[in-house]
């Protein structure tokens, strides 16, 4: 009798984690799918990679460029002529705005200048605006943060009227 009872207990104990994993896997998959579906279902040509927003930059309200999540975009003055020079540790702090694979002409919403791509030495392509590769800043925590403005005298908030990076 103890063997049968022990066997049933073992079966129940083994079934619970498997059932929980199956339910958790399903819920997790659903969460990932729903969170990821706007990005995966939208074609690169139809989803604007760069948008405009209003934010306070150095104490005054300005129209700035943002990514799809509303995070401020920056340009790096050594990146002249569309060449990506922020790599390695620099790119860990200033992640470049990656262009989806196969995108050569990214789309924008509210931008007035040309968007394009530049090769990233780390692989893939980086979105550019008026010849400037675009980056985000890891210390910006919320849309509208502009804490990277003027960092080391070479990082600046990208605005629609930035001069071409030639």
Tens digits of per-residue pLDDT, 122-157? 999 999 999 999 999 999 999 999 999 999 999 999
Residue 18 and residue 55 in one domain: no
**Poorest-pLDDT segment among 21-30, 35-44, 46-55:** 21-30
Residue 33 and residue 105 in one domain: no
Residue 16 and residue 59 in one domain: no
The C-alpha atoms of residue 73 and residue 110 are separated, in whole angstroms, by 14
Residue 37 and residue 87 in one domain: no
pLDDT tens column, 11-36: 333 443 333 333 333 332 233 222 33
Domain total for the chain? 2
Q: Taking Cα atoms as reference points, which of 121, 128, 122, 112 lies closest to residue 49?
A: 128
Residue 97 and residue 135 in one domain: yes
Average pLDDT over residues 4-17: 41
Residue 79 and residue 100 in one domain: yes
Residue 76 and residue 142 in one domain: yes
pLDDT tens column, 67-81: 999 999 999 999 988
pTM: predicted TM-score of the whole model, two decimal places: 0.72
The predicted structure's pLDDT at residue 55: 97
List the domain range (segments joined by +) for residue 106.
50-157
Residue 30 and residue 86 in one domain: no
Residue 68 and residue 139 in one domain: yes
Residue 148 and residue 67 in one domain: yes
pLDDT tens column, 74-111: 999 999 888 999 999 999 999 999 999 988 889 999 99
């Amino acid at each position: 009798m103890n063997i049968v009872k022990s066997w049933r207990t073992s079966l129940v104990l083994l079934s619970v984690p498997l059932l929980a994993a199956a339910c958790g896997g399903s819920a997790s998959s659903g969460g990932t799918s729903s969170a990821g579906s706007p990005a995966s279902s939208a074609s690169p040509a139809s989803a604007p990679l760069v948008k405009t927003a209003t934010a306070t930059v150095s104490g005054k309200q300005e129209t700035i460029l943002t990514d799809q999540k509303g995070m401020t975009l920056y340009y790096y003055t050594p990146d002249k002529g569309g060449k990506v020079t922020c790599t390695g540790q620099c790119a860990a702090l200033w992640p470049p705005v990656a262009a989806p694979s196969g995108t050569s002409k990214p789309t924008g919403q509210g931008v007035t200048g040309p968007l394009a791509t530049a090769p990233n030495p780390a692989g893939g392509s980086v979105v550019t605006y008026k010849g400037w590769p675009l980056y985000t800043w890891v210390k910006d925590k919320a849309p509208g943060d502009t804490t990277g403005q003027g960092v080391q005298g070479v990082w600046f908030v990208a605005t629609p009227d930035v001069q071409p990076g030639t």
